[in-house]
Each structure stands twice: as structure tokens, then as C-alpha cells.
């Protein structure tokens, strides 16, 4: 028998046999094998929806056996997307906490606690007292490394409880040949242009110039670290020397230069946690006061003295 005729006849028989084609007959292991026939072909050009049911994920197609090809798609209405089946890759932004007007005279000074939010200790939230009408954290503070220079760290502040809240500002400092910079109010400014220090780093008076003329009327404020051991008092440089904020450090910071033993809780957190007291006058530009404090604390905790700090750190 002619082998070519047999092959042609056999191929024709297979093409004309709908039962074998529809049943997904793949023939023998060595007969007419086509690797592409084993790849499921999508039945629709539409992108798959993020739903939990397997039918929608497979675009309405069903498999009849482990070695068969795709059967005809099931002709049924495609289920609509609902909030219960959608995958939320980004949580909704946390609404901004109440404005200054909501801070009534009942709370002339509010004490916020720097509270850890994760076991890896790269973020904090600024939590109001439990007796406040609104106990939602006021700010979320996160620290990350610069991808191009892991020795330089970026501190970012957001409104609300998580990093998905409204962006407030950020600053970058570390071991780098670049100047350290702060970013707020649609500006990116070298820190040396807005921050001045008088005295030794651990007990100095730091003067911060706001990045916007709308903040405290453009009047600078001072953080005085001579008044509180390990902490600082923030006052405006106006004629009244208005008290804006007070920073109360943690015991670890207070005893950082002594062999004193500091107690921690069951989660390994120092007690009490550091706190920031904001007056009614300081509430008007809380964001700027917080950023200035974080920058100063970062500089105060450098691992070398003032003489060598400028050589290593920016």
C-alpha cells in the first residue's frame, strides 16, 4: 500500500470525523502530535476580571478531560462585577482628620503618642488620646531606603492611619554625596536652607524656617532642647514667643548616654512611648511642626560627633 496515500486518507478521515475532533482525540503518542494543540486558546480578547469564581477566570470555558482540548464555551450571561468579587489592590485613601476648628477649647493641648505599626519597626502612627472624640491616628510616618542608595533613608508623612492617606511631606538624609532635602508645599528644598543649629547637637536650639509664607505667617520657630532632658520645646519666634509644641522622648532616648536599664512591654516596645504635645496655636500647621521635629531628631541621633558628622552624613 502506498504510504503517502495512507497518510492522506488517514488525515482526511480524522478531519471528517466530528466525533473525534469534538471529543478532543489526540491520537497516539507519535501520530500527528502538535505541541500547540495542547495550549488552551482564550475564547475572548477581553481581559479577565478579578473575581473569585473559576468560571469567570476561565472566560466561560470548561475542560472535558485532562487530555482533551477546550470544549465549546458555555453560553450564559457573564456575571457582573461586584464589590464582593473585586480585588482591591489599593485600599481607599483615609480621609483627612478633622481640621483645626474641630479642636475645641476643651483640648487646648493634645498629647499624641508615636505608636509602632509593624513588627519591622519602619513606621509609626501619631495617635491621639483615647478620650478624644476622634481617635483615628493623625499621621502615618514611614521610613524607606533610597533604591539607588540604600544608605540614604527617606521619611514620608501621610495623613491618617496608613500610607494610603494623603501625602504630607518627606525628607531624605543619610550617607550620600547629595545634600539632604525636604519636600513639602510643592517644593523640594535643601535642609541647610531652612534649618540652623546653635549649640551642641544634643542640647542645641534649632531654628526652622517654614517652606511656605502661609505657614505661621512665614515666621520661623525654634526647638529648644535645653529645657527638657532629651526632649524639646517648640516656640514661634514672634514677639509673643507662642508655645507651639513639646516633644517628650522615650526612656531609651533620655538614657541613651548612660547604662540605665529601660523596661519594655510584652511586644518589646519601650514604655512610655515618645509623645508630641501640640497646642491650639500649633494645630494650625501641625504638619510642618512634625516634619521639623523628625528632621531634627534624625540629626540629633547621628552616630558620630559634630566634627565628623558633616564628613559622613549629608
> Tens digits of per-residue pLDDT, 197-222?
999 887 899 999 999 999 999 999 99
Q: Average the pLDDT over each of 88-92, 183-187, 287-291 and give the range with the smallest value.
A: 88-92
Residue 286 has pLDDT above 90, yes or no: yes
Please name the residues in contact with 83: beta carbons below 8 A apart, sequence gap of 6 or more.
none
* Burial of 210 (C-beta count, 10 Å sphere; 0-12/13-18/19+): buried
What is the pTM assigned to this prediction? 0.67
CB 211: neighbour CB atoms within 10 A? Answer: 21
CA distances from 218 to 198, 222, 245, 251, 289 (A): 21, 13, 17, 34, 13
Task: Pull the grid cell for residue 128.
Answer: 491621639
pLDDT digits (tens, 9 = 90+) for 46-98: 554 444 444 443 444 444 444 444 445 555 655 554 444 444 444 444 444 44
Q: Which residues pair with 112 in a beta bridge?
A: 276
Q: Which residues pair with 113 in a beta bridge?
A: 127, 275
Question: What does the angle CA 289 – CA 182 – CA 250 come to, to the nearest 5 degrees?
Answer: 45
Closest CA to 117 of 140, 144, 136, 90: 140
Domain ranges (residues) in the chain: 100-312
> How does 186-201 read in b/e, with b if 16+ C-beta sit within 10 Å?
eeebebeebbebeeeb
For residue 114, the Cα-to-chain-centroid distance in whole angstroms is: 17
Q: Average the pLDDT over each of 20-29, 69-78, 244-253 and give the range with the smallest value.
A: 20-29
The DSSP code for 71 is -
Evaluate the CA torsion angle 112, 118, 119, 123 in order and state its sign: negative
Per the CB < 8 A criterion, the answer to whether 74 and 60 are in contact is yes
For residue 147, the Cα-to-chain-centroid distance in whole angstroms is: 15
Evaluate the CA torsion angle 43, 46, 48, 50 in order and state its sign: negative
Residue 10 has pLDDT above 70, yes or no: no
Cis peptide before 272 (omega within 30 of 0): yes
Amino acid at each position: 500500500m502506498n504510504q503517502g496515500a495512507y497518510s492522506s486518507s488517514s488525515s482526511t478521515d480524522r478531519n471528517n470525523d466530528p466525533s473525534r475532533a469534538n471529543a478532543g482525540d489526540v491520537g497516539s503518542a507519535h501520530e500527528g502530535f502538535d505541541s500547540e494543540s495542547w495550549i488552551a486558546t482564550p475564547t475572548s480578547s477581553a481581559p479577565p476580571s478579578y473575581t473569585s469564581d473559576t468560571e469567570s477566570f476561565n472566560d466561560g470555558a470548561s475542560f472535558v478531560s485532562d487530555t482533551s482540548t477546550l470544549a465549546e464555551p458555555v453560553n450564559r450571561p457573564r456575571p457582573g462585577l461586584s464589590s464582593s468579587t473585586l480585588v482591591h489592590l489599593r485600599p481607599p485613601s483615609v480621609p483627612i482628620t478633622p481640621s483645626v476648628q474641630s479642636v475645641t477649647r476643651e483640648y487646648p493641648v493634645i498629647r499624641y503618642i508615636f505608636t509602632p505599626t509593624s513588627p519591622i519597626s519602619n513606621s509609626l502612627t501619631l495617635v491621639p488620646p483615647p478620650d478624644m472624640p476622634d481617635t483615628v491616628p493623625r499621621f502615618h510616618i514611614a521610613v524607606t531606603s533610597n533604591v539607588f542608595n540604600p544608605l540614604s533613608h527617606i521619611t514620608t508623612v501621610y495623613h491618617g492611619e496608613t500610607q494610603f492617606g494623603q501625602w504630607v511631606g518627606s525628607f531624605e538624609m543619610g550617607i550620600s554625596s547629595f545634600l539632604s532635602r525636604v519636600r513639602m508645599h510643592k517644593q523640594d528644598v535643601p535642609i541647610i536652607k531652612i534649618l540652623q543649629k546653635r549649640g551642641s547637637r544634643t542640647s542645641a536650639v534649632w531654628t526652622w524656617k517654614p517652606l511656605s509664607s502661609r505657614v505661621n505667617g512665614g515666621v520661623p520657630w525654634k526647638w529648644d532642647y535645653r529645657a527638657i532632658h532629651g526632649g524639646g520645646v517648640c516656640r514661634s519666634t514672634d514677639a509673643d514667643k507662642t508655645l507651639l509644641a513639646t516633644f517628650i522622648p522615650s526612656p531609651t532616648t533620655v538614657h541613651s548616654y548612660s547604662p540605665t536599664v529601660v523596661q519594655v512591654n510584652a511586644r518589646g516596645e519601650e514604655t512610655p512611648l515618645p509623645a508630641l504635645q501640640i497646642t491650639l496655636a500649633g494645630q494650625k500647621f501641625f504638619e510642618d511642626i512634625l516634619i521639623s521635629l523628625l528632621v531634627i531628631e534624625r540629626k540629633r541621633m547621628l552616630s558620630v560627633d559634630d566634627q565628623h558628622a558633616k564628613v559622613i552624613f549629608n
